[in-house]
Chain A
């Protein structure tokens, strides 16, 4: 019966995704619980993860931030000059970066660079029974492997976003003011006048949420690689789950961006 088979497939898929959502929800709760009670001596684990997630991402953040700011300067100057409003270039570049592009683009870049690494690392640990070994040694893998990554991500992502914003504004300044000839005083005064605390606050809230989202999705996907419906076995299973973690994180960053903006605007 094709109809029964169709319903069977729908039911099977629904159960799988509900199960997965529940699993990931419980995973998040367990990790947050372990983050809260992580002992102070674990600071070395956290600093190591800050180095991996944060420090090693600085170059790519500076690079993408600079070019994003430069293209904003270029597009902004050309658009605003049509209305004779070149003086607003500074606020246009700064507001675009601080409220929107900084948090979103940094999060996307960090997902690609650090999120994929987190997922692959935990996935390999799972398929090679290293996570089972930890559990058998009575060491909670949520606490030992994932909690330091959570803390590191929540610290690193807002800082990287701040770097992205500053470098982006500098890029917009170089193109708009130095190359295209916008007024330097107007560039900075409009920025000073129009950028308010709520804009910086919105960017900060977004970056913290995205930091949490990246590390949650990527570590949970790696952690449960063996339960993947498409077959989470071996190197191929890890590579597949890493791709899906990056895609899911990127999509959710854009979805949550809308909701956070609509809540804070």
Chain B
């Protein structure tokens, strides 16, 4: 990989009280690629995303976005960087006192100079893309889990961001709804060409989407590899993870050997 990473975490450490959660994260995210962070629950995968978003300050280390350390720049510069971000939070974080339409329209109203008519057209278009036509006047509490995720995704995509963060986009959804989210993801990434960083438990399905898979274990990124290389990695921690989540896929080879 000769190209310059879009996002780079260099030796990022974070403690909560006496508990060291991140013990030196080194990770590079490349433009136009999908990087999936996997690992067991409670390892700090979402925390890595929060560090990149500028929501949690690391105890030490650097978080570079386009080569700029986001914890050493002004609030205004951070806002400029965040203007390229779209985020789908784990719990979606929709504004619960606003309708679906207003949730999606908010970034357009606050960050662009579009007229209300143009905003209406844009929101209607994205609702159509997400198969959410007719839900625009509903409140988040009136939506199913899958619909909430799609509204969250619509809100994240509405300003055509360059980088999208997905924090466990399919957690809590059944297989059909998960597939639906992945289909929307495929469709939108093909159309918009964004870079994406995803935290997921959905192994091995997520390998089909990923360009790179990074395993977080014991506060360290064990390795970040293309899915095929990840599955055949000699790293014992990755090997154990692959076996645990996918079964011993090389059993026959071992038997033959």
Contact = CB atoms under 8 A, between A and B. Distances in A.
Contacts of B55: 132, 135-136
B166 interface: no
Interface string A170-213: 00000000000000000000000000000000000000000000
5 interchain residue pairs of minimum CB distance: A129-B93, A133-B93, A138-B82, A138-B83, A136-B87
Contact of B79 (A124, A125, A138): A138
Interface in B80-117: 80, 82-83, 85, 87, 89, 91, 93-96, 106-107, 110-111
B156 to A, nearest CB: 9
B9 interface: no
A128 interface: yes
Given A130-B93, A135-B54, A137-B110, 10 more contacts: A129-B93, A133-B89, A135-B53, A136-B55, A136-B85, A136-B165, A137-B82, A138-B79, A138-B85, A144-B110
Contacts of B94: 130
Contacts of B82: 135-138
Interface in B99-153: 106-107, 110-111
B89 A132 contact: yes
7 contacts: A130-B93, A130-B96, A133-B95, A136-B87, A138-B83, A139-B107, A140-B79
Interface of A: 124-125, 128-130, 132-133, 135-140, 144
Residue in A124, A135, A138, A144 with the greatest tally of chain B CB atoms within 10 Å: A138
Contact of B93 (A132, A138, A139, A140): A132
A228 to B, nearest CB: 15
Nearest to B75: A140
Contacts of B54: 135
A130 B106 contact: no
B111 A137 contact: yes
Given A135-B82, A136-B85, A138-B82, A128 B107 contact: no
A133 B91 CA distance: 11
Given A135-B55, A137-B106, A130 B95 contact: yes
Contacts of B110: 137, 139, 144
A129 B80 CA distance: 21
A109 B155 CA distance: 38
Nearest to A143: B110
A173 to B, nearest CB: 42
Given A128-B91, A128-B96, A129-B93, A139 B53 contact: no
Contacts of A138: 79-80, 82-83, 85, 111
B106 A139 contact: yes
Nearest to B85: A136
A219 to B, nearest CB: 16
Interface string B44-57: 00000010011100
Nearest to B84: A138
Nearest to A136: B87
Contacts of A132: 50, 53, 55, 89, 93
Contacts of B159: 137
Contacts of A135: 53-55, 82
Contacts of A136: 53, 55, 82, 85, 87, 165
Contacts of A133: 87, 89, 93, 95
Contacts of B96: 124, 128, 130
Contacts of A124: 96
Contacts of A129: 89, 91, 93
Nearest to B79: A138
Residue in B54, B89, B93, B106 with the greatest tally of chain A CB atoms within 10 Å: B93
Contacts of B85: 136-138
Contacts of A137: 82, 85, 87, 106-107, 110-111, 155, 159
Contacts of A144: 110
A128 B106 CA distance: 17
